[in-house]
Structure 1
């Protein structure tokens, strides 16, 4: 059994059809991508405990007047069974997702390079799906610490390993289309919530029960069913992984002559030297600023739209958000438009990952990021003006473009790293660079939420709250723009010698083949290829359709 998951066992023949590998990566990324959709559980979990009067019990932090009081309430909520959880309590699980994702990817990236993607995919499955089961038990017994540990910590480790598991493999299978290959897989992570959120909503409705006259959604049952579904998908994806033999290249393709393009390295940097290079840290800043400028505002997309446009969202431009708050029916209508806006930008986030990463194969990675930062700054400045002019269409267009480049930044960075550091350790280096994501996952939301709350407390009109926040986010993109300009070709002193490279290939259990066999003329496997792509294509189509239905309300 251990050899079945080994890197040697999954090294394919030169004639293997490389188009069978992306569906395997998508199966894993679509599963772990549900981390983005966990907010669908916050409201039901916050009303889990029902009193004798049929109403939800008070929150553990009820009556909290200060941040310290709220934090004390959260600590009590970890084990309390006589009070409900708040979004603040549950939101820490979301933070743990992305902190642990970056940390685990950085810590176990080198192990992944030697163990291979199949073994990493299996461990990711055990962590992510096992974490969901532990969380289900935590919901059943109303123990918040189990949810933090199960989905937040253990699941977060699964996210990190699952996220980076296909990167090195796909780059080696598609040396001619590095950006497109990684864009296909990482598109799946952005699409996981698009599929998982409506599925979770449907399951909670199916398992709902009536307690004291109040409908209770079946949340723990939903976690169990989703864990089973994701286990099947992730194990199938793990078994579908294959790695090419060392020196393999696709038929009819020859490596380009990079003598005139020294931004693409033909040699390789060792993992232990990567962080010693200025390129690593400039790219770390590039990713951190791109994500920070997007993640905070995307996470607040629905309330941002409602507060900025108020009654204009429902055809009553004379009403502000403060007026809507006084009428629950009007507020519900505006919230539906806000949900449609979230759906729309999620689509652009997903397809931006594939589009921009593919475009980077033509433009080059550095120029692609120049476009990201320049266009992003322009969009944020434009959006700040739209808050005053109340132009909903232009405002929405700005954030759709921003969301596409937010996703595109994730999908393009692996190819950028492969260009700079070579492909031998690209998966592990990508794992370490993802600590920038962990940092941005805290930095971006903290800046946006802190400025928002401060301006609300200062009684600034709701429609004017976000304009200065947009300028701060634009300045973060400006920092990323400067860092990207500072990226220069790699100094030869950082590259491994041929002897060192050969030693590392042996340590990584890579198989070598003769020169004649390195031409990968793919076997024709139409039925298997069709089934593999259908297995991931059908759920993606379901997610897109569900999201379009939500977004359609914006056009009415």
Structure 2
């Protein structure tokens, strides 16, 4: 599928002397916008009342968006790599903004299916394309520090909610003067939420287009000053060969990393999805929680900070100790922390908070480090497309994590009356999942030479081959 000339990769090749540190802001401009997906809880109660629907019916909106993220990233990954980041970011902005407009129309007309289709389907497609759009570009600009590069961008997705949550509360208060964002019992009207959607559409369009039009790709022969590509191969599990996306999914390494990502994300989502009631339930005595609602909300904000910080700190650390060792930390360390959370987490609130925060930092770090892990194993040729296919593990985990936690809790008692002991079966299931992921990571080996491209392949030669095959 051809793109307009102003979006073509050839139009955005950087001139000599271009400062590569201008690329992370372009990536952040997109990721901070699509990271709003983590802030949907801000207006969830308002939508329940507006549509007279259940929490499950409204929660499906987020689930659809995450599933579409994985599906669209897998389907459009090769297209993104072939056409470049400007076309991808532009397309992502169009889908993401249209999702808000259609979703807002659905709220305004009380048509829930329009909200599913708008924010869930259209917005989810924008999420997937936007999530992978800067990855391969950043890795090519920072071949000497791929973990740092991907951490800078994907950190934005984890931190998007830190901006979107307070902004959304302020805007809903502006559109509905009766709504008090400081009062947890106050609920904005559906009209305020639809106005919020229309406003966010306008704001995100500006910022995402800014990212799309400042992004550049390096020339095929560009190298950072002082960087020797031959030094890359000296590191374990790092290749200088190229593997196509089609061949990558036929290797055991791809599926081992799929299991690794699925297990790490499932365990993290299990805490994130239940964070606020979980800390209140862990410290419940005589039917009342010792943790106030405001404190529980603050705990959720703290987890967002560790989610964001972990994406940058742990992925940067992986540049020094390697990708396989850092995942041994995520999975092995996470396993130990989950055991401690289940056994001694209720001994003191500070113990619970520290354990949960570190677990979530591993969750964020796993997201940010996986593109660099893929680059190490499969090369830079179609790393964006390979990353897109691997994100189907996120879609699966987005369903499995909440399902495991909620199903177990449903058998343990009534929400609002649960205690720490009721969470232990679910937490030990997460321990088992992390053990599976740890073993899968241990089994990762270099990709066999039979999967390597038979010649030195660059984006330019790949496009030429694609154009020749299209004219036959």
TM-score of the superposed pair, with normalisation by structure 2: 0.93
SS of alignment partner, residue 10 of structure 2? coil
> Where does structure 1 lack aligned partners over 5 or more consecutive residues?
49-82, 311-318, 325-329, 510-556
2:237 counterpart of 1:280:
no
1:304-315 aligned within 5 A: 304-310=278-284
Counterpart of 2:94? 126
Counterpart of 1:410? 367
Pick one of 342, 352, 365 that aligns with 1:384.
Answer: 342
**Partners of 1:36 and 1:219 in 2: CA distance:** 16
Counterpart of 2:389? 432
Deviations 1:134-178 (A, max 9, x none): 111111101100000000000000000000000000000000110
Tell me, yes or no, if the aligned pair for 1:104 and 1:157 is still in contact at 8 Å: yes
2:354 counterpart of 1:357:
no
Structure 1 residue 260: Cα displacement:
4.4
Tell me, yes or no, if the aligned pair for 2:281 and 2:416 is still in contact at 8 Å: no
Counterpart of 1:84? 52
Structure 1 residue 230: Cα displacement:
0.3
Tell me, yes or no, if the aligned pair for 2:46 and 2:188 is still in contact at 8 Å: no
Pick one of 142, 146, 152 that aligns with 1:178.
Answer: 146
**Partners of 1:359 and 1:463 in 2: CA distance:** 34
**Partners of 1:207 and 1:457 in 2: CA distance:** 35
The two structures, once aligned, show a CA RMSD in angstroms of 2.0
2:189 counterpart of 1:216:
yes
**Partners of 2:233 and 2:98 in 1: CA distance:** 49
Counterpart of 1:240? 214
Greater Rg over alpha carbons, structure: 1
Pick one of 361, 366, 379 that aligns with 1:422.
Answer: 379
Q: Which moved more, 1:269-278 or 1:406-415?
A: 269-278
> Where does structure 2 lack aligned partners over 5 or more consecutive residues?
180-186, 468-472
Aligned residues: 456
Tell me, yes or no, if the aligned pair for 1:267 and 1:496 is still in contact at 8 Å: yes
**Partners of 1:193 and 1:482 in 2: CA distance:** 33
**Partners of 1:219 and 1:262 in 2: CA distance:** 51
Pick one of 462, 467, 471 that aligns with 1:504.
Answer: 462
**Partners of 1:256 and 1:474 in 2: CA distance:** 40
1:260/1:252 CA distance change after superposition, 3 Å: closer
Structure 1 residue 108: Cα displacement:
0.5
Counterpart of 1:292? 266
Q: Which moved more, 1:254-263 or 1:125-134?
A: 254-263
Tell me, yes or no, if the aligned pair for 1:14 and 1:244 is still in contact at 8 Å: no
1:433/1:215 CA distance change after superposition, 3 Å: closer
Deviations 1:440-498 (A, max 9, x none): 00011100110011111699962311122211111111000000001001111110022
1:280/1:392 CA distance change after superposition, 3 Å: same
Pick one of 108, 114, 128 that aligns with 2:76.
Answer: 108
1:508/1:427 CA distance change after superposition, 3 Å: farther
Counterpart of 1:348? 306
**Partners of 2:103 and 2:241 in 1: CA distance:** 45
Tell me, yes or no, if the aligned pair for 2:345 and 2:355 is still in contact at 8 Å: no
Tell me, yes or no, if the aligned pair for 1:130 and 1:155 is still in contact at 8 Å: yes
Counterpart of 1:52? none
**Partners of 1:267 and 1:155 in 2: CA distance:** 36
